[in-house]
């Protein structure tokens, strides 16, 4: 571990984000607060933000690192200045907000919710731009590609879905796990999707193949934990590649 733990929240910390400029970290907690930290000194920056979310489920710095968006169990997205001033409240989800992303220009926010939808919002007035529907259970994680062509979503319905942000339609088939999903990310070169959840596995998918409505090349990384009789811990990692619809 580098340095001492960053301590100050009263209850569990459920989300963290590193500012794009690399100068600070923000944490969101079940105590309803967001706190900014200096990663070099370990000290809190500015006042604690009392969000009124009850539980804070998601936080995300704006691309310019000058604002923080937060979402929680109260179904509301709130955007804050770094000194803790509330800039706007965005309302429209029917259940808790679980994941947030910004557009590159900082003019829009994307959100994933327990109401099974992904939504895009205008920051200037909080108006909804569109709603993406297709998941059959809670949306736990979303991410937007750097070129903003695609949005990825991971859900408790066991699937990752790919959305075309020009047509606002799902593209390709759902990418399936064996259990509920909690996280999805896209590599910076847009070649690979990584997803993970309750099945204890991280799946890596070829985005190009997935967009071809089949032939989804998947690298499956399984991490298992085994304990020996003398108390040592052995981590085993196995990898396999398979192509769906093709014989091995």
Residue 36 within a domain: yes
Instruction: Give the number of domains in the chain.
Output: 1
pLDDT-based confidence at residue 220 (cuts at 50, 70, 90): low
CATH for 158: 2.130.10.10
Looking at every residue in the chain, the average pLDDT score rounds to: 87
Residue 244 within a domain: no
Strand partners, 124: none
Over residues 15-30, the mean pLDDT reads: 96
Residue 176 within a domain: yes
Higher pLDDT, 211 or 220: 211
Q: What is the pLDDT of residues 64-76, one digit of tens each?
A: 999 999 999 999 9
User: In percent, how much of the chain has pLDDT > 90?
Assistant: 75
Residue 202 within a domain: yes
Range of the domain at 22: 13-214
Over residues 161-190, the mean pLDDT reads: 95
Residue 196 within a domain: yes
Residue 97 within a domain: yes
pLDDT of 235 > 50? The answer is: no
67-71, 138-142, 215-219: segment of lowest average pLDDT: 215-219
* pLDDT for residue 213: 62
pLDDT of 113 > 90? The answer is: yes
Residue 117 within a domain: yes
């Amino acid at each position: 571990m580098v340095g001492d733990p960053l301590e100050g929240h009263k209850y569990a910390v459920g989300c963290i984000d590193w500012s794009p400029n690399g100068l600070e970290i923000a944490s969101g907690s079940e105590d309803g607060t967001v706190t900014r930290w200096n990663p070099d000194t370990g000290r809190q920056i500015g006042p604690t933000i009392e969000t009124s979310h009850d539980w804070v489920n998601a936080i995300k710095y704006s691309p310019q690192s000058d604002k923080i968006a937060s979402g929680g169990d109260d179904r509301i997205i709130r955007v804050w200045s770094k000194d803790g001033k509330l800039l706007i409240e965005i309302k429209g989800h029917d259940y808790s907000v679980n994941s947030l992303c910004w557009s590159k220009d900082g003019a829009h926010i994307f959100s994933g919710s327990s109401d099974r939808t992904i939504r895009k919002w205008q920051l200037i007035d909080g108006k909804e731009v569109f709603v993406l529907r297709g998941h059959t259970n809670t949306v736990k994680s979303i991410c937007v590609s750097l070129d903003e062509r695609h949005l990825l979503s991971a859900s408790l319905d066991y699937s990752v879905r790919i959305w075309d942000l020009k047509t606002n339609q799902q593209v390709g088939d759902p990418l399936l796990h064996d259990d509920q999903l909690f996280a999805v990310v896209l590599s910076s070169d847009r070649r690979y999707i990584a997803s993970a959840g309750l099945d204890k596995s991280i799946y890596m998918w070829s985005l190009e193949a997935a967009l071809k409505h089949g032939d989804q090349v998947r690298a499956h990384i399984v991490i298992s934990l085994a304990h020996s009789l003398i108390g040592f811990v052995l981590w085993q990692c196995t990898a396999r590649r398979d192509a769906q619809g093709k014989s091995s």
